[in-house]
Amino acid sequence: MKRLRAAAERIYAESVLRKLTYTPQHVAIIQDGNRRYARERGLSVDTGHKLGAETTLRVLEWAKKLDIRHVTFYAFSTENFKRDSAEVNGLMDLFVEKFTQMLTDARIVENKINVTVVGDRTLIPPHVLKEIEAVEERTRDFHDYYVHFALAYGGRNEIVETARRVVSAYQDGSITLEDITPDKLTETMYPLGDMPAVDLILRTANDRRTSNFLPWLANGNEAAVYFCVPTWPEFRYVDMVRALRTYDERMRMQ
């Protein structure tokens, strides 16, 4: 039955894709439901996060297949630091493991994937930041596809910190009032990578909110939003295609 269902989903997904006119350039994903998935199956929270990380890798493959050049994953918010210390430490260890793997992953080089992290780096433990910076340095000249991880990230905090940097630059004479434009703020916010406006926000686990995620790039662009029932470990290719259909429908209505 599983194989029959998978075959039916592939046929359905290809049918939907053939009807699409518009493809988003930048998809931002809120990876929700790892803990719920684990609890419902009697698994540890760490196992839920590890299974979620496997979904992230699959989605990267799908993004390339679907010609989506930018994907941003909401990996860890500033609020997540309030969780149980064992869970936070387990996630940090998982980040170290995955960023370390990226350093030797042939797919990163073959597909010319630029990897960057956005968030408050002062909150990221040094041993995690070391691996992040190593991956960013290794991939900084790749420009075919872009993968951004929002880590120690909060949208309101991001805007406040950007405002402080802009005010500081104005006070020291680096910029004038006329220099303060939307493009300048975007450049100041995301200095490590070329992040275009968000076209589509996707959230799993049926929680219908955008959780302070990329407000400058998403809300300012009136991004389409797609909520789906499956938790992140359960997220399937057909769910991704349905999200693209939501974006296509929005664009057709303009």
Q: Are 94 and 125 in contact (CB under 8 A)?
A: no
Q: What share of the chain is helix, strand, coil (3-state, %, to 5)?
A: 55, 15, 30
- Kindly list the distances between the CA atom of residue 229 and the CA atoms of 28, 53, 213, 214, 239, in Å, as whole numbers in the listed order: 17, 18, 19, 22, 9
The answer to whether residue 206 is catalytic is: no
Tell me whether residue 221 is one of the annotated catalytic residues. Answer: no
| Residue 48 main-chain phi, psi, to 5 deg | -60, -45
Please, how many CA atoms are within 13 Å of residue 76, restricted to the half-sphere of its CB? 25
CA atoms within 13 A on the CB side of 252: 11
Give the DSSP letter string of 56-94: HHHHHHHHHHTT--EEEEEEEEGGGGGS-HHHHHHHHHH
CA distance 200 to 53: 21
Tokens of 108: 């990163």
Among 80, 111, 212, 221, the one annotated catalytic: 80
For residues 21 and 249, the answer to whether their CB atoms sit within 8 Å is no
Q: Which of 32, 199, 239, 248 is catalytic?
A: 32
Give the residue numbers annotated as catalytic, written as ranges: 32, 80
